[in-house]
A and B are shown apart, each in its own frame.
Chain A
Amino acid sequence: MTNNGKMQSVTLRVLRYNPEVDQKQHFQEFQVEYTADTTILDALHQIKAEQDGSLTFRRSCRHAICGSCAMNVNGKNILVCKTPLRTQLDRKNRVTIRPLPFLPVIKDLVVDRSAFWEEYQRVRPWLIAPPEAPEKEFRMTPEEVEALHNAETCIMCGACYSSCQVVALNKKYIGPHALLKAFMRVMDPRDTEPGERLDEVSGSDGVFRCHTIFNCIDACPKGLNPTEAIETLRKLVQKRQAFVAARQERQKTLLPVESSTAPAAAD
């Protein structure tokens, strides 16, 4: 980078809202100095520290793993902590920052994500393992592990959920994040209730409510693919019986042969 270390100036337009004072949201402009290394989150910190201490936003880890700082920058949902400011300048040398769309705003850039978490809880995102756990580990094939890879790196930032127009129309829709989790658990060979999970997502606000808009893929900061997961779930829902039968068959071979692997010298 040629301008590395060199200070430049940029206008940040932040959509602000203080429920105690404001009737509605309004833009406020801030001038910020930045270098090639400055992230948008750094710039927001700079404003909060030097210009306006009342600016409110969520952030925690600052390296794209906690999922707190998803915001709408120039109309796209991104994680501000991992996005350099210089990549987001528009033609007028400005950056426009809004809270996540389609969700109730609490203050400034902080939104109410209760609906997001409720839908997450609804698909029971935890593993429902077989009653007898092995001494060491379940035996999964590399292909089975690979299939889960799409879903397991999700950081629950809400970028996909709040970019989804179906969510905008109907908050009862389960949402791409939770459907991705459901997909992960359905595909997991250790899970004992794939049939019940498929029933949950096949309802009138589940996978068939998705209109294949692809915003979730575009928005995901981790490069995950909720649309593909939803399409896969659609296929599995339509052959539920065969899938459940295959799972039951699979689970017979999931436990390693206890007598040969378990240490017999314990007693």
Chain B
Amino acid sequence: MYTSTGFISFFLRRLTGVALVFYLALHLWVIGSANAGPEVFDARLNAVQTPIFKLAEIALLAAVVYHAFDGIRLLIVHYFKVTEYRKSLFYAAFAISAILTIAGGIPILLFMLEGL
């Protein structure tokens, strides 16, 4: 172990990345039911729009948004000489993704509570 902000960013990037690969497989399977016709598609899609899955969707949003902004951070580090500001960049990426997750998560949460 060697903890630092860099390690935390790397760990989160790995974690969200691996999670998103598994999500992609699930996503392909769910949407792939369209091959079997609209009825099957709607049935399977309804199965993944229960409150539990809506909560998981917020986690998914968090993962996507963090992975995206961490990626933008790495692009900035690659194309500009900004390693001096590495800690601020990580905090900025983390803060932006947290804000966007909350902003996007509240409507999902409200929709979920409505459906209960």
Q: Which residues of A are at the interface with B, using a C-beta cutoff of 8 A?
A: 72, 75, 77, 101-102, 163, 165, 168, 211-215, 217-218, 225, 227-228, 231, 234-235
Q: Chain B residues with Cβ under 8 A from A212's Cβ?
A: 6, 10, 74, 77-78
A213 touches B83 (CB 8 A): no
A231 touches B7 (CB 8 A): no
Distance in angstroms between the alpha carbons of A47 and B44 in the assembled complex:
69
A234 touches B2 (CB 8 A): no
Distance in angstroms between the alpha carbons of A235 and B2 in the assembled complex:
28
A218 touches B4 (CB 8 A): yes
B4 touches A215 (CB 8 A): yes
Q: Chain A residues with Cβ under 8 A from B27's Cβ?
A: none
Least CB distance from A119 to B in Å reads 18
Q: Quick one: which of A168, A217, A235 contacts B83, CB cutoff 8 A? A: A217
Interface size on B, residues (CB 8 A): 16
Q: Quick one: which of B2, B9, B74 contacts A163, CB cutoff 8 A? A: B2
Q: Top 4 closest A-B pairs, CB basis?
A: A214-B6, A213-B6, A214-B86, A213-B10
Main secondary structure, interface of B, reads: helix
Q: Quick one: which of B1, B4, B9, B78 contacts A231, CB cutoff 8 A? A: B78
Least CB distance from A111 to B in Å reads 14
Q: Quick one: which of B1, B2, B74, B81 contacts A228, CB cutoff 8 A? A: B81
User: For residues 1 through 54 of chain B, which have their beta carbon under 8 Å from a beta carbon of chain A?
Assistant: 1-7, 9-10, 13
Q: Quick one: which of A101, A211, A217, A235 contacts B1, CB cutoff 8 A? A: A101
Q: Chain B residues with Cβ under 8 A from A77's Cβ?
A: 2
Least CB distance from A226 to B in Å reads 10
User: For residues 58 through 105 of chain B, which have their beta carbon under 8 Å from a beta carbon of chain A?
Assistant: 74, 77-78, 81, 83, 86
Distance in angstroms between the alpha carbons of A211 and B11 in the assembled complex:
10
A225 touches B10 (CB 8 A): no
Which residue of A has the minimal Cβ distance to B82?
Answer: A228
Distance in angstroms between the alpha carbons of A217 and B85 in the assembled complex:
12
Distance in angstroms between the alpha carbons of A231 and B2 in the assembled complex:
22
Q: Chain B residues with Cβ under 8 A from A214's Cβ?
A: 4-6, 83, 86
B77 touches A231 (CB 8 A): yes
Given contacts A101-B2, A212-B77, A212-B78, 16 further A-B contacts (CB under 8 A): A75-B3, A77-B2, A102-B2, A163-B2, A165-B7, A211-B13, A212-B6, A212-B10, A213-B7, A213-B9, A214-B86, A215-B4, A228-B81, A228-B83, A231-B83, A235-B78
Q: Chain B residues with Cβ under 8 A from A72's Cβ?
A: 2
Given contacts A212-B74, A231-B77, contact A165 B83 (CB under 8 A): no
Distance in angstroms between the alpha carbons of A167 and B52 in the assembled complex:
39
Given contacts A101-B1, A214-B83, A225-B83, contact A234 B78 (CB under 8 A): yes
